[in-house]
Structure 1
């Protein structure tokens, strides 16, 4: 092979140009990795809609990438500009040993192009396939010269050499043509049947086996197998915005926590994330309809349905919080995020605006403001965007170095009669019509008459190392009701420790403990004890798309009464994401 290439160098400048496609260190070297950054590689059509074809075309995509790199040379429609002078290459100098040959190749035959950044990279290693593709381009150029009455440039010996080169690489060229034809056919099929050019489908399915234990509570509940499925359409019109349309269905129900008399306690203690907003019968609802877009330095959030404060505000609870009650974080709603973000929800608007230049330890900060109404669609009396239930949030976000994040949160809310404070705008009730939140005790949630509330919270997340995270929150709420004895104060706090990559990359071991939202000695309700919750879970990552999470939720003083038996909830959750 080397003798053949040497003869080609001697006989014809055209063939000399072809041989320059090969580096001095890797002539016809098979399976050599190309040292080219992804940004400089010619683009290949993304095949994201039918993964069963991706596995078949993965190798062919690399081949097509190589072929495009050379076949586009000289094409006026190519994204790479036509090279007409060797001086256009920033990495080719007159002192280079191959400068004269390259100059002849580029200026006389025009069958070589560089990279978009103006480099030639003549010392880069090539594979035999790449060399065959480049050689074929130069041979086509020589044939074109012959056909246009420039045959005087090519001798009989040149033609013999060209024929031998074509025969030498005929197998590679035939393989390339077959692979390219196959890949183009598959690409055409995908493009003809693709779902959308602007929208992708994301989904999550949760299977959970759960049971409750403890005197009274254990006897009143049985082992259950529950599910929840979310299908989301994420659409981008500019590449920077995202329209989220999410459908959800589930059959899950929370366990009935019992008091000493065997009666169910109308609270949301122990509620798990996949149980929030569940229809209970697998009927499908529009779970979320939001649009996020940057406008100048601000990030704008618009919610038409299912809006949550935690969609746009930083909750500072890594590894426990997962995309608003997703299936890869903590098991319980309490451990997932501070209950202050559960006050209100629905439709509305929010802004996240950066401010300050930062410097030194203090990083640039931001301010977050938002307004959500759970009755924005209803035109009746005491309803609508501004006269119905609503919650307005303001939050200051600070970063100290690279490992500490802080946030100070204020929420002003209004709720009509017969609602719950920490309800995420879902307006939930139990079978008896008692309003329920998604987290907290009955004493901290029930609003018998219309009430306004002012809530103040602090949250922090600290990462001492890359695999250890410590986070926590505290929140206080002052409620002023329109009826006698409606005023009360509510507290909640908690802290957690998470170990990432515990035992295996992607696994998470987490422990979270704190006090569910409570209101001590509220008139007409009683209950003078703090209801604590301790949760431990271990998320085991089976693959990129499947995880299994066993965990335990331990509740003390349910209903804010230490006389009530403690309750334990055990869950084995399997999450599929796609």
Structure 2
């Protein structure tokens, strides 16, 4: 932006300097030369004043634009009578705007569109949260362009970062990401997309403190805490940011590690939510509910390790989640748990290419409130997996063939069955 302004100022400056040079007296020193010098000086002062006005009107911020587009081609077969394994061709488009006003802060805006399923996310294999085939690259805005994320972050001192925004999720307000595994399906995001992480996009705020160390490769402590409210933009009675019936979400994370390895423990407290999360069994998502005024306390243990050099030795990511629910109705979940292990290979076979394999069990009910007709979760023994290889065509284009599947999962018709699928992702980054 400054270069653009200078290009505008330069011709104006040259235009003002030209008459100055024309009026300059190059004759030998005389009584008139002093007067000419005063005239020139006056004009120079005027030029400086005009330049000052131009500089005063320049933009007080700098904005960087980046983005990506994804072509999504593939199918899903869930072995149900109503299942369709037709191959579909869909898209996602995303723009990222990062604006700084001081050089240390950031106003982040994400704009998204896509046609993967309908706007509610209930139609389309690749936005199906129930059977775990929701892709990380998918978007179900039904071709509408929407502001998907919007928040502002700024430093406080040398060790603290603060976030606040009307559209943010809790895992963005952390000192560091809980997982280094790059997933194809969202169920493997965040080291296992369970109860502790992965809130819906909501109004929220948070802060993170990171211990200062002299050596950037040394281990350090970090603590994060944040609050989000799913009904924070709802002005109805008892809703809003802190209303009695608002779906609130408090998350804290304590971590210790270096850029190569990390262990962490997260604790979250949910109150008033009408479901537990996106990527869990059908029975586990029935609790808590607003009518019962129930609450949930969830925990997430994470750990990862990176090798010194990329290649044949993989990165390792592990995660385990469990939760307890207070206020569940008879036959609903009181306890849940799930786990995942992910392996990632950077620069496998060819520099720039990447491979990944993940497997685990999505969070399911391990304990039910007595008195109901349901005695166990049909998805208690569920298993899920994925595998992919990314070809880097150039710095902006990559192609990723992937396969994924699972067993004992609930499909769109409510039947517990097996699922398998394949997708070809072509991504353009700019």
Asked if residue 364 in structure 1 is aligned to residue 220 in structure 2, the reply is: yes
Q: Which runs of 5+ in 1 are unaligned?
A: 1-43, 48-146, 150-193, 259-264, 321-329, 423-436
Measured against aligned partners, the alpha-carbon deviations of 1:471-493 in whole angstroms (never above 9, x if no partner) come to 11101011122644445111111
Asked if residue 502 in structure 1 is aligned to residue 348 in structure 2, the reply is: yes
Question: Whole-Å Cα distance in 2 between the matches of residues 210 and 240 of structure 1?
Answer: 42
Structure 1 residues 478 and 148: CA distance shift in structure 2, 3 A: farther
- Compare the two structures and name the one with the higher helix fraction: 1
Question: Whole-Å Cα distance in 2 between the matches of residues 415 and 355 of structure 1?
Answer: 34
Question: Whole-Å Cα distance in 1 between the matches of residues 256 and 238 of structure 2?
Answer: 37
Asked if residue 470 in structure 1 is aligned to residue 320 in structure 2, the reply is: no
CA contact (8 A) 2:207 2:224 kept: yes
CA contact (8 A) 1:535 1:552 kept: yes
Matched positions, count: 357
- Secondary structure at the counterpart of residue 420 of structure 1: coil
Question: Whole-Å Cα distance in 1 between the matches of residues 386 and 70 of structure 2?
Answer: 19
Asked if residue 421 in structure 1 is aligned to residue 276 in structure 2, the reply is: yes
- Secondary structure at the counterpart of residue 556 of structure 1: strand
Partner of 1:273: 136
Asked if residue 302 in structure 1 is aligned to residue 160 in structure 2, the reply is: no
CA contact (8 A) 1:355 1:365 kept: yes
Match of 2:70 among 187, 190, 206: 206
Asked if residue 457 in structure 1 is aligned to residue 300 in structure 2, the reply is: yes
Partner of 1:445: 285
Question: Whole-Å Cα distance in 1 between the matches of residues 269 and 325 of structure 2?
Answer: 10
Structure 1 residues 393 and 359: CA distance shift in structure 2, 3 A: same
Question: Whole-Å Cα distance in 1 between the matches of residues 70 and 338 of structure 2?
Answer: 28
> Structure 1 residues 341-350 or 231-240, which shifts more?
341-350
CA contact (8 A) 2:187 2:362 kept: yes
CA contact (8 A) 2:328 2:334 kept: no
CA contact (8 A) 1:343 1:421 kept: no
Q: Describe how 1:221-260 pairs up with structure 2 within 5 A.
A: 221-253=85-117
CA contact (8 A) 2:250 2:269 kept: yes
CA contact (8 A) 1:481 1:487 kept: no
Query: What is the deviation of 1:500?
Result: 0.1
- Secondary structure at the counterpart of residue 275 of structure 1: coil
Partner of 2:9: none
Query: What is the deviation of 1:148?
Result: 9.1
Q: Describe how 1:92-107 pairs up with structure 2 within 5 A.
A: none
Query: What is the deviation of 1:544?
Result: 1.1
- Secondary structure at the counterpart of residue 241 of structure 2: helix
CA contact (8 A) 2:336 2:365 kept: yes
CA contact (8 A) 1:358 1:364 kept: no
Asked if residue 333 in structure 1 is aligned to residue 186 in structure 2, the reply is: yes
Partner of 1:566: 418
Asked if residue 383 in structure 1 is aligned to residue 239 in structure 2, the reply is: yes
Question: Whole-Å Cα distance in 1 between the matches of residues 295 and 408 of structure 2?
Answer: 28
Partner of 1:489: 335
Match of 2:361 among 493, 506, 515: 515
Q: Describe how 1:393-408 pairs up with structure 2 within 5 A.
A: 393-399=251-257, 403-408=260-265
Partner of 1:283: 144
Asked if residue 527 in structure 1 is aligned to residue 358 in structure 2, the reply is: no
- Secondary structure at the counterpart of residue 558 of structure 1: strand
Question: Whole-Å Cα distance in 1 between the matches of residues 209 and 28 of structure 2?
Answer: 64
CA contact (8 A) 1:499 1:509 kept: yes
Question: Whole-Å Cα distance in 2 between the matches of residues 533 and 304 of structure 1?
Answer: 34
Query: What is the deviation of 1:196?
Result: 9.3
CA contact (8 A) 1:404 1:463 kept: yes
CA contact (8 A) 2:276 2:286 kept: yes
More RCO (CA 8 Å, sep 6+): 2
TM-score of the two chains, using structure 1 as the length reference: 0.56
Q: Which runs of 5+ in 2 are unaligned?
A: 5-26, 30-57
Partner of 1:171: none
Query: What is the deviation of 1:547?
Result: 1.1
Structure 1 residues 255 and 215: CA distance shift in structure 2, 3 A: farther
Question: Whole-Å Cα distance in 2 between the matches of residues 548 and 404 of structure 1?
Answer: 29
Question: Whole-Å Cα distance in 2 between the matches of residues 236 and 396 of structure 1?
Answer: 28
Structure 1 residues 252 and 470: CA distance shift in structure 2, 3 A: same
CA contact (8 A) 2:169 2:202 kept: yes
Structure 1 residues 463 and 310: CA distance shift in structure 2, 3 A: same
Radius of gyration: which is bigger? Answer: 1
Q: CA RMSD in A?
A: 3.3
